[in-house]
Amino acid sequence: MPLAQPDAAVAAFERLLAPEESERARRFIFKRDRDRFIVARGSLRTLLGRYLEQSPGHLQFAYGKHGKPFLEHPSDLLFNVSHSSTMAVFAFGKGRQLGVDVEYVRRDLDATAIATRFFSPAEVAALNRLPGHARIEGFFNCWTRKEAYIKARGEGIFFGLDNFDVSLAPGEAAVLMRVEGQPAELSRWTFATLSVHPDYAAAVIAEGNDWRLRCWEYGDVGR
């Protein structure tokens, strides 16, 4: 979903927010960032309200130890959210944990230097084997898959990005290849790559291998 919306749309989304969300929005220094947060959170509430057939403004969120949100009242509908620059992506599933990540593709960054700092040795080696023109795509494949996985686990960066390996080569299937000390994780999760926009990379992961990915643009949901 594009986060750049007219002021009238931002105001409509803001009316859906809980007091603590409105307070969080006010802490942003720049209007652009404040508006993007409001649109992302208001859109999440709208989508959850459609799935649950409830008023979006009445939904209550709770948060895991490392900040992963979930519905306060028991529900088998689980969700995850990611946003980068002007794009937001939402993932929903029933009865299974999941994680999603989207990143704006910056083609001017030093992918090798960042990978060396954050990725596992096997991933750094795989990235360095790619031809130069493919390294940015490989880097963002890796980054979004790693972020989606740690978000699905609900542990964020506390788990450690170098404690596991994912595939990254362009055109290669998205796969969780190693989790330090937890081999059962490899069969627990399934990845999918998302095509949201040419300027963005995105990935989703969910428990099990018996699920089917269905994608909509924001305005199409519920039609």
pLDDT bin (cut points 50, 70, 90) of residue 73 is confident
pLDDT value for 66 = 78
The predicted model gives 202-207 an average pLDDT of: 98
Q: Rounded distance, CA 138 to CA 111, Å? A: 9
Going from the N-terminus, what domains does the chain have, and what CATH number goes with each?
7-96 (3.90.470.20), 101-207 (3.90.470.20)
Do 120 and 164 touch, CB atoms closer than 8 A?
A: yes
Calculate the dihedral angle through the C-alpha atoms of 131, 133, 138, 141, rounding to the nearest 10 degrees: -160
The predicted model gives 24-32 an average pLDDT of: 95
Does residue 162 surpass a pLDDT of 90? yes
> Is the whole model's pTM more than 0.75, yes or no?
yes
pLDDT value for 19 = 94
pLDDT bin (cut points 50, 70, 90) of residue 131 is very high
Average pLDDT, the chain: 93
pLDDT bin (cut points 50, 70, 90) of residue 222 is very low
Does residue 28 surpass a pLDDT of 70? yes
pLDDT bin (cut points 50, 70, 90) of residue 219 is low
Between helices 111-118 and 135-153, what is the axis angle to 10°?
30
pLDDT bin (cut points 50, 70, 90) of residue 194 is very high
The predicted model gives 36-61 an average pLDDT of: 95
Task: Report which DSSP code applies to 157.
Answer: G
Residue type for 134, please?
Answer: A
Does residue 221 surpass a pLDDT of 50? no
Burial class (CB in 10 A: 0-12, 13-18, 19+), 72: exposed
Q: Rounded distance, CA 128 to CA 132, Å? A: 8
Q: Comparing 104 with 155, which gets the higher pLDDT?
A: 104
Determine the distance from the C-alpha atom of residue 198 to the mean position of all C-alpha atoms in its chain, rounded to a whole number.
Answer: 17
Does residue 220 surpass a pLDDT of 50? no
Do 166 and 130 touch, CB atoms closer than 8 A?
A: no
Phi, psi of 179, deg, nearest 5: -130, 120
Which of these ranges, 50-54, 175-179, 197-201, 215-219, has the smallest mean pLDDT?
A: 215-219
